[in-house]
Amino acid sequence: MRFTSEGNALIGRLHRETLRIEGWGTDALRVRSTLLRNLPDTDHALTEEVSHSAEVKIDGIHAEIVNGNIKATVNEVGIICFYKKDEKGEWKLILQEYYSLYGGSIRKESICFKIVSREFKGLASDSFKLTARFEANKGEKLYGMGQYQQPQLNIKGCVMPLEQRNSQVSVPFLVSSLGYGMLWNNPATGEVSFGENITKWVADETDALDYWITVADTPKQLVENYTACVGRTPVMSDDYLGLWQCKLRYRTPEEVLSVARKYKELGIKLDVIVIDFFHWPYQGEWKFDKTYWPDDKLKAMLDELHEMGTKVMVSVWPSVDKRGETFYEMDKKGLLVTTEYGSQQTYDYQGDCGTTDFFNPEAQEYIWNRCKTNYLDKGIDLFWLDNSEPDLVSYDFNNYRYYTGRATKVSCEYPKKYVEAFYNGMEAEGRTDYVNLVRSAWVGSQKYRTLVWTGDVQSNFIAFKDQVVAGQNMGLAGIPWWTTDIGGFMTENVNDPEFVELLIRWYQYGVFCPIFRMHGDRGPFDIEPLDNRDFGGGYLHTGQPNELWSYGDEAYKIMRKYLDLRLSLKDYISGLMKEASENGSPLIRTMFYEFPEDERCWNLADQFMFGPDYLVAPVFEAGAKERTLYLPAGKWQNIETGEVIDNADGCDITVPAPLDVIPAFKRI
């Protein structure tokens, strides 16, 4: 490989490949490579202004670049090794690209089967299918990568699709137990395999390899370095830290007000109440159906809710029904996602629909203007940006094309472009106190006041445990505003005692989430339909009641107890929101985030820290009456009993966990 320097960047060239490594933020390097004539001029998720200082040394056929405590070396065939400076000032190898092409390797073996570390395979275009390979580190633990429906907190050994789906959120930043963090800075669909023998990243369609790596002594510092480069969330207002009320679905202003008035009668302030889907005539009209939401009643409803101090959120979808008033206009203007072959239908729930192409700035402006006129100007406060993956007829990414390229090349960034439209619109209106509830995200979505929720998950204890794990990994991936549907989304029978038990256990967990939100599709679906509008799938049901009083006196008593606890924590949570804006720290934290020196904490998936002070151990089994958990060294107070435990070395304890108790301890 021939080496040169360009400013503070190291440039390497071999055959048709151009490699560029440069300093990018604190103790961090960005690596790019391409077979094209020039490197693409895009930063993808690395959008923030940071230092690019680094020192480059070239010694014939070898070169190195140093930025603070990270160093990369490149050998004669272009293999990159990364090193971290330890407390003694010595360089320790933390990661290296896979090395086997020419036989004889850093692993001192003779491997001649010609597998390369950076493999570009040409497609029927100027783009490539890319595979990047790295040596696997024995004993390494890996975390982050976003929200996947699985019980593994440590994702070493996992194969993970790099694609957005309902309840799956790909945010490809990982934290290593070896003291580095790595961002796969590419919005293409693909896959990553964290194998025991090799780590392999695949992008289905791309112009260049692009990844970023940083080092630090603690996970907290890694997240701080990372979010400095991709952006941090603004501060969330205290107005959103109490109870949010939602269900599928409130159908009229009268239904909304009946719920809000009942809460007021009980002395419970609702921070937010949510109006869910199909309040519109057809998908893609982005307005209220005046048959059920006439202007006068809508205004009266909003006035009364605002007088109660309750903000109103309305559901927005990207789908556009051919029978609605916008489809053909949007289609002619090129504002919809197109297909490469077959039917142009991209979505099929309750209609033959297209999908808004939020990569197109004109589409962003078009949708925002309709939502401003039909919602914001009428008094709606907040937007729930649902189906933001987007949901599709089938996840055949080869078949969809956006304004900036095929889905295989760009679509992981779709949810970020979706929320960007509403962020820009709200900011232009001078709104600075709002939250965008979104079902998906990508790297940097947090900058746009994005609150991610976990999607349409099942109502059972297995799904509940998966969400607790997902929240921890989402936090490490840089998304601090995150929550779930309390009780899960899909319920067949609200009268099942096991569901009520699950709901209570999930509700107790919800107290220790950034946002505390009741939502779900509650069966049985035998409520008399309000209308018989035929959207192609028959009339739309509305689920059973989903308010705190809907599940019986015992359940209400427990939920009221934990609502009081939530409200008592508002000042504490407000402080965590400020910290998230300052250094990127999540509110839901893995145990090792707060106790990185404690080896036990790197292996705990079923308990977590809520900020620095509260240890939370949810109950995941029906009928459980106790819970075993681990207390790290320190002084801890049981928030239920007031008992103080002071231990010097960390210990396992078993505590009572009747239905009205979630085991939780405050660090004192």
Cβ count within 10 A of residue 85: 16
SS3 at position 651: strand
Structure tokens at 504: 């209570």
Is the distance from CB of 54 to CB of 23 less than 8 angstroms?
Answer: yes
The secondary structure of 182-238, three-state, reads EEECCCCCEEEEECCCEEEEEEEEECCEEEEEEECCCHHHHHHHHHHHHCCCCCCCH
| SS3 of residue 506 by DSSP | helix
Radius of gyration, CA atoms only, the chain? 26
Q: Which residues are CB-neighbours of 242 under 8 A, at least 6 positions away?
A: 269, 270, 271, 516, 566, 567, 570
Q: Measure the CA–CA gap between 656 and 223, rounded to whole angstroms.
A: 35
Distance, first Cα to last Cα, the chain: 57
- Is 17 exposed, middle or buried, given 0-12, 13-18 or 19+ CB atoms closer than 10 A? middle
Q: Is 389 a catalytic residue?
A: yes
Active-site entry in 22, 64, 381, 386: 386
CB distance 329 to 363 below 8 Å:
no
DSSP-derived letter for residue 489 is: S
d(CA 177, CA 180): 7
Amino acid sitting at position 260: A
- β-strand partners of 631: 651
For residues 229 and 27, what is the distance between their CA atoms, to the nearest angstrom? 12
Q: What are phi and psi of 338, to 5 degrees?
A: -110, 165
- Return the DSSP state at 390: T
Contact 449, 234 (CB under 8 A): yes
Active-site choice (204, 271, 389, 413): 389
Residue 194 β-bridge partners: 199
Question: Do 300 and 306 touch, CB atoms closer than 8 A?
Answer: no
Q: Which two tokens stand for residue 308?
A: 């109660």
- 302 vs 106: CA distance, rounded Å: 67
Is residue 117 within 8 Å of residue 134, measured between CB atoms? yes
* Closest alpha carbon to 614 in 631, 597, 596: 631
Residue 600's contacts (CB-CB under 8 Å, 6 or more residues apart) are 591, 630, 632, 650
Q: Which residue has the tokens 């300093």?
A: 23
Active site annotation includes 386: yes
Record the tokens describing residue 379, joined without a space: 């008094």
Coil/strand/helix, residue 300: helix
For 292-299, which contacts have Cβ atoms below 8 Å and span 24 or more sequence positions?
Answer: 292/251, 292/252, 292/530, 292/531, 293/252, 293/253, 295/378, 297/252, 297/253, 297/254, 298/253, 298/378, 298/379, 299/378, 299/379
Map tokens 């990369």 to a residue. Answer: 72
Catalytic residue among 456, 606, 640, 660: 456
Contacts of 474 (CB under 8 A, 6+ apart): 146, 147, 169, 171, 452, 482, 586, 588
CA nearest neighbour of 483 among 491, 474, 492: 474
Active site residues: 386, 389, 456
